[in-house]
Structure formats: C-alpha cells, structure tokens
Amino acid sequence: MADPHATERELFAARLKPHRSLSRENFRTLLLFIMAFSTITTLPFLLMGAWPVVGFMGLDIALLYLAFRINFREARAYEDVRVTPIDVQLAKVSAKGARSEWHFNPLWVRLEREEHEEFGTQKLSLVSHGRRVGIADFLGPDDKAVFAQQLTGALAEARRGPRFS
C-alpha cells in the first residue's frame, strides 16, 4: 500500500546553534575568581592611598561581565534546516527572537561551498533562482564540512523524489 504522507517525510533535520564553551555556572565561578583576584591586587593600592585604581579594577570587572552577558545573549540564536522530498526549509532565529524563513524546491536548490585550502570550509550558502542565503555561519570549518556533507546527501535523496511504496 502506498504511503500517503511520503511527500512530508523528513529526510534531514538539524538545529544549528553557536558553540559556547563556557556555561553560565562556570562563568559565575570565573567571575568570582576574577573579583577575588582583583580585590587582593587592589587592596595594597587602596592602603597606599591610590584609591582610583580600585575604580578602574571595578570597571574592568563590569566590562568583562557586560561582554559575557552579550555573548550569552547572542548564543540564543539558532538555525533550523529541514529537508523533505518536496521542500527545503531554512529558518534563522536571531538572539532577539526575530525569525526569518526561506523555502526552496529541492530540485533547484544547491549547496554552495567556499573552501580555503588551508582553513577548510569557510562559507556555505543555499542558492536557487538567483537567491543566495548564507547558512551555518557560526559553525567552525570542520563542523561546516560535516554539516555540508549531510545536507548534500539529504538534497540528493530529495531529488530522487518521494517513495510511495
């Protein structure tokens, strides 16, 4: 018996997220360590009467905290890629929650790679009918190469069409 949902069958799905090596708990530990170190190193300056040094060290800690807050906020961004026999969907969600979506026909879309002989895969784009959409920009070269290989295989399978049996 033929599968009535063969055209909706998911051939490939991936959620791509920026890599962050420092968890929030580890960040708190790091910040406490830096604050303790800063307090120990500024205490002699304070005792000698050079009190402006305390303010500058506090400013350094505040700027470090702000930089990590921005980093963690940017980590909320992600991309969803889904391939079915009749559709390639790409959704990009920014750190602020703004969502952009693109749909491509798998027969006409191609994955374009920009390779560097020393550094590997630098850029990936989905290209169809003059539209070019960058994809997986925040992944490293090795991760981009693996993702590109998987997506290329899914696109090839989608081009063979749905299987109804």
Co-location of 144 and 86 in the same domain? yes
Co-location of 70 and 100 in the same domain? no
Could you tell me the pLDDT band of residue 5, with boundaries at 50, 70 and 90?
Answer: low
Could you tell me the pLDDT band of residue 165, with boundaries at 50, 70 and 90?
Answer: low
Co-location of 104 and 138 in the same domain? yes
* Within a domain: 51: yes
Co-location of 122 and 85 in the same domain? yes
Co-location of 142 and 126 in the same domain? yes
* Within a domain: 164: no
* Within a domain: 165: no
Q: Is the pLDDT reported for residue 19 higher than 90?
A: no
* Within a domain: 1: no
Distance CA 140, CA 22 (A): 17
Co-location of 82 and 10 in the same domain? yes
Co-location of 53 and 134 in the same domain? no
Co-location of 130 and 111 in the same domain? yes
Distance CA 7, CA 163 (A): 8
Co-location of 124 and 88 in the same domain? yes
Distance CA 31, CA 10 (A): 44
* Within a domain: 117: yes
| Tens digit of each residue's pLDDT (9 = 90 or more) over 30-78 | 999 999 999 999 999 889 988 888 888 889 999 999 999 998 888 899 9
| Tens digit of each residue's pLDDT (9 = 90 or more) over 72-118 | 888 899 999 999 999 999 999 999 999 999 999 999 999 999 988 89
Co-location of 13 and 81 in the same domain? yes
Range(s) of the domain holding residue 62: 24-74
**How many domains is the chain built from?**
2
Co-location of 11 and 92 in the same domain? yes
Q: Is the pLDDT reported for residue 6 higher than 90?
A: no
